[in-house]
Amino acid sequence: MFHMQHLVGRRLPDVDLEASSGSPVNPAKILGPAVLFCYPYTGRPGHADPPHWDHIPGAHGSTPQILAYSKNYGDFRRLGVKLFGVSLLDTEWQRDFVKRNALTFRLLSDSGRGFSGRLGLPMFETGGVDYLQRMTIVAYDGIIRVLRYPVPEPEQDAIVVLDICQALVTSG
């Protein structure tokens, strides 16, 4: 198993990631509490899933994970938590997903791997393409405070992370 807890206490990379809204977001410069959940891929009408997707442990679940965060977005906002999804997908793919699902938070494209590469985030490959493994980063003032990896039940991630954020905001 690939362990990632060594990242707790580390500053998020100082890199601009293109957001689905069209403006860049620099994770290192996000003040206050923030959640960056990393996901591998979202399906798109008219496009087949990547090769062997059904046989890769942890590959499925991005859409339910993102929609659960969307459902709970108001609770994150009430806590003052900034919320972002991060993947290697390009911004155009992410914009399509945001529009189809009426998301109210931004997805960030790390297609240049400036974020994942600097942190050494785990990936998997299929069909000659790399995908981020699912993990969730809870940061405060750009410092990683909590890291969830692996995320065995993506559809439950938002609820678990909301509890973590409540404790973080309460304790400061």
Q: Which fold has domain 5-171?
A: Glutaredoxin (3.40.30)
d(CA 115, CA 17): 8
Judged by phi (left if over 0) then psi (alpha if -120 to 50, else beta), residue 55 lies in alpha
Count of Cβ atoms closer than 10 Å to residue 28 Cβ: 16
pTM of the model: 0.96
Q: pLDDT tens track of the chain, all 172 residues?
A: 457 999 999 999 999 999 999 999 999 999 999 999 999 999 999 999 999 999 999 999 999 999 999 999 999 999 999 999 999 999 999 999 999 999 999 999 999 999 999 999 999 999 999 999 999 999 999 999 999 999 999 999 999 999 999 999 888 6
The pLDDT value recorded for residue 55 is 96
d(CA 157, CA 81): 15
The pLDDT value recorded for residue 1 is 42
Cβ 122 vs Cβ 4: under 8 Å: yes
- Domain residue ranges in the chain: 5-171
Q: String of b and e for 51-88 (b: at least 16 CB within 10 Å)?
A: eebeebeebbbbbebbebbbebbeebeebebbbbbbbb
Cβ 39 vs Cβ 62: under 8 Å: yes
Cβ 139 vs Cβ 115: under 8 Å: no
Taking the mean position of all CA atoms in its chain, how far away is CA 157?
Answer: 11
Count of Cβ atoms closer than 10 Å to residue 95 Cβ: 18
